[in-house]
């Protein structure tokens, strides 16, 4: 497989992940699946838009660049300096680095949100009741959150999905960094013997 074909495969995988991360972040604005009366009752990390900006919008740019790398004729222009395949592969490294940064931003925010727990009403105030306790291992602590209903499993599920998907995105962009490096040094196909 040519390096442009590998990049197209990575780009094709990144687009649905970016859409899913955006949707997960949007759902976090509706704690427990309900509209909140006061925006201050939403967990702070949701407002950092990790899934929308980091793993969503910032991931679309690398994905589109990766998809465009395959549009060049793989074997027909290798060795022709004017076609710019090596420069295109080099530029994909830069966009892959942007993707790694975006995915890393979402990954870190999700990890912080999972560690801190959701913001909820404890009967007296809206606070983070699990900030100093391990609520992930002790499900009996979840009853401390009275409102919104089911906020703990809601946040836990969506932030876990964001954590996993952004981790996958970072790995895929890392693969393209290596792929782009080989494509820059060696060319897309012929000089390394891929297309014979």
Residue-wise pLDDT for 42-72, tens only, equals: 888 999 999 999 999 999 988 888 887 766 5
Region of residue 32 (left: phi > 0; alpha: psi -120 to 50; beta: else): left
DSSP class of 53: I
pTM: 0.82
Backbone phi, then psi, for 132, in 5-degree steps? -110, 10
Termini Cα distance of the chain: 11
**pLDDT of res. 84:** 62
**Local confidence band at 97 (pLDDT 50, 70, 90 cut-offs):** very high
Q: What is the pLDDT of residue 32?
A: 82
d(CA 189, CA 5): 10
Residue 33: pLDDT above 90?
no
| Structure confidence by residue, pLDDT tens digits, 141-188 | 888 888 888 888 999 999 999 999 999 999 999 988 888 888 777 765
3 pLDDT exceeds 70? no
Q: 155-170 burial string, b = 16+ CB within 10 Å, else e?
A: bbebbebbbebbbbbb
Ranges 5-9, 33-37, 178-182: which has the least confidence: 5-9
> pLDDT class for 82, splitting at 50, 70, 90?
very low
| Number of residues that this document lists for the chain | 196
User: Which residues lie closer than 8 Å to 127 by C-beta, 6 or more apart?
Assistant: 119, 120
């Amino acid at each position: 497989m040519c390096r442009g074909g590998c990049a197209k495969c990575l780009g094709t995988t990144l687009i649905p992940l970016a859409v899913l991360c955006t949707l997960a972040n949007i759902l976090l604005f509706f704690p427990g699946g309900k509209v909140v009366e006061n925006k201050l009752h939403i967990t702070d990390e949701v407002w950092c838009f990790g899934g929308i900006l980091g793993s969503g919008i910032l991931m679309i740019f690398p994905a589109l660049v990766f998809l465009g790398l395959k549009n060049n004729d793989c074997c027909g222009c290798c060795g022709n300096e004017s076609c710019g395949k090596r420069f295109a592969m080099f530029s994909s490294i830069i966009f892959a680095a942007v993707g790694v940064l975006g995915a890393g931003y979402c990954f870190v925010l999700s990890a912080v949100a999972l560690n801190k727990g959701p913001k909820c009403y404890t009967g007296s105030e809206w606070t983070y009741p699990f900030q100093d306790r391990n609520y992930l291992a002790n499900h009996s602590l979840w009853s401390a959150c009275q409102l919104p209903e089911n906020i703990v499993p809601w946040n836990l599920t969506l932030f876990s999905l964001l954590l996993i998907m952004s981790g996958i995105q970072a790995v895929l962009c890392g693969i393209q960094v290596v792929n782009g490096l080989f494509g820059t040094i060696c060319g897309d196909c012929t000089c390394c013997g891929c297309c014979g």
